[in-house]
Chains A and B, each alone.
Chain A
Amino acid sequence: MIKDTRISTKLWAAANWALIGFFIINLFGMIATVVTSSFATRWLGTWLPADWTTRWYAAAWSEFQLHDVLFVTFQIVFLVVVISGLIGVPAAYALARRDFPGKKLVMLLFLLPLLVPPITFGIPLATVLYQTGFAGQMSGVVLANLVPTVPFVILVMIPFIEQIDTKIEQAARVFGANTFKLFVHVLLPLLTPGILAALLLVLVRTLAMFELTFLTAGPTSQTLVVALYYAVFASGVRAVQSIDAMAVIYMVTTLIWLIIALRFVNPTQIVARAKR
């Protein structure tokens, strides 16, 4: 294309970059504040704290029972990842390979939990889970978190499965493989990168999922993000630095998995859930 060299065009470009720079500076400023504060002895009215310490991490670890919270968090996340994979991948396979009456309706059923915000469907869902006795314990939190993750796995996996040549499956059928054998020996190895990507995204989303866990968790089934919310909500009871230390622990857990996930997926996939 012809390179535009007018002053107005250059000014407009500069203004755009200034905006995005401003956004990123503030974003990192916000994150840096939390990290700085978590290492600060005393930080009042100055640019940087008076001195540095790591004792807030030990304090947060015991005050907020982070050992238990982290254990619960990883149990919940692990269960959500495994179950959504077990339900989602076969469903995605069926949807990618078969056209059946009512398929559009089924696709709508899978799209809705991703489009409706969690707090909107979370309140009726929590009501039902409380009345059936699931809420308040780990099983309820897992069930609630599965509602958006199962459709998410399905919608991420459908394009992955569609790109696999059906001739490979037909060949396996000719040699006498049943659906189960076809899955284990042919499809699973081919789909591993896609499944890994989908499940890593589920993992990151479940770690950060506040609303559904908040609405269904009891005292012993809180995940890290819900524990952080309660700590910030009741701030004043604990030292600010200790809450910040907890926030840093949460940030590190989430970002580690994000970095691992980004090795397999494009960042935009976290937002643009499905090809429309």
Chain B
Amino acid sequence: MSAEATSIPLKQRLAARGLDGLTLLVVPAILFLLALFIYPFLYGLILSFEPKAGGALSNYQRFFSDSFLYGTIATTLWLALPVTVATLGLAIPIAFRVRLMQNQRLLTTILVIPITLGTVLVAEGLLNYLGPQGWFNRTLMTLGLISTPVKLLHNYWGVMLSLVITGFPFTFLLTLSYLSGIDPALENAGATLGAGPWERFKHILFPLLLPGLAITFCLSFVQAFSVFPSAVLLGAPAGPTRVISIAAYQAAFEEYDYSMASAVAMIMAAVQLAIVVAVLAARGLLYRGPAGGGKG
């Protein structure tokens, strides 16, 4: 380091930019994540272009030419998108209702239970509960709504229901936390000026909530898109609910083809990223409209 450039020591110049001994405390965490998150991802990306046989792109060629493999994208989207829309559709009105409650703690605690128990336990519970002799079918038959048990296991609906049970609380609590961040004075002002509940929702709360909803949509979708245990345990993993994570798992741990498994994982990440980017781009458009035109 040349001394003539400046008389201030390097240590002080760095400290002025926020780099001193204390900042170094962040280094272990950065190194840890570089080694175990970024490096594996890059490694997987490179590995996916080094297949067991064939050219650099042959894993991807194989994926997109085999309907048993590329079909998993549609299967997974066909599960994840309806689940995300359904949970959001349920979560928004209920969050608006619960927001007015004085004591939300009991309800939020109940809703945290399925998230805490995790997908494996929910799948195991639903195997009993939704079965032909389970309490759900039994209740419906006693009420006279159906005459024979509804088949809800080992098909699309089993996975769908388990995703809603673990996804709804997540979506709801996220929506609620965004909703409680909106200043109640704005809604009160609308009410004072004579807006009814529907007008207040349509013109004030919903536009303000939309950016948060876009994030909620992304997170819920990404969670649902990576469904694994419930698709195996509750669905038909060989057919209608053969989701993309099953394809990746089979490539890695049944065929021991880590290169192919990495390729599937990269495709999975790419589809998730594509949907997230699309939603966030739309969020940019949606947000600017109401903020510019409505408040001015």
Contacts and interface: CB of A to CB of B under 8 A. Distances in A.
Same complex origin of A and B: yes
B94 A19 contact: yes
B269 A208 contact: no
Interface stretch (B4-12, B35-43, B67-75, B281-289): B35-43
A250 B121 contact: yes
B261 interface: yes
Select the residue from B36, B94, B115 with max chain A CB neighbours within 10 A.
B36
A271 B115 contact: yes
B26 interface: yes
B124 A232 contact: yes
B187 to A, nearest CB: 7
A154 B29 contact: yes
Interface string B96-134: 111000000101111111111111111111111100011
A268 interface: yes
A33 B125 contact: yes
B19 interface: yes
A113 interface: yes
Contact of A87 (B32, B38, B219): B32
Interface string A69-105: 0000000000000000001101101110111110100
Nearest to B234: A232
B179 to A, nearest CB: 11
B217 interface: no
Given A1-B187, A1-B188, A124-B44, A29 B109 contact: no
Nearest to A86: B28
A12 B97 CA distance: 10
A247 B124 contact: yes
Given A146-B36, A271-B112, A34 B29 contact: no
Interface in B195-212: 196-197
Given A30-B129, A233-B233, A208 B117 contact: yes
Given A123-B262, A150-B29, A271 B128 contact: no
B155 interface: no
Contact of B118 (A123, A126, A151, A225): A225
Contacts of B249: 123, 215
Given A120-B226, A127-B262, A16 B93 contact: yes
A80 to B, nearest CB: 13
Contacts of A17: 97
A159 to B, nearest CB: 14
Interface residues of A, number: 94
B58 interface: no
A60 interface: no
Contacts of B44: 123-124, 127-128
B18 A29 contact: no
A119 B248 CA distance: 9
B165 A115 contact: no
Contact of A27 (B105, B110, B135, B258): B110
6 contacts: A33-B134, A34-B121, A91-B30, A101-B18, A119-B245, A228-B124
Given A103-B18, A247-B121, 14 more contacts: A2-B191, A19-B90, A91-B28, A94-B23, A95-B26, A98-B18, A101-B19, A113-B37, A123-B264, A127-B258, A146-B32, A179-B21, A228-B124, A247-B125
Interface of B: 17-26, 28-30, 32-34, 36-41, 43-45, 47, 90, 93-94, 96-98, 105, 107-129, 133-136, 138, 165, 168-170, 173-174, 176-177, 187-188, 191, 196-197, 215, 219, 222-223, 225-226, 228-229, 232-233, 245, 248-249, 252, 258, 261-262, 264-265, 268-269, 272
Closest 7 CB pairs of A and B: A124-B44, A117-B226, A91-B29, A100-B18, A208-B118, A90-B25, A30-B125
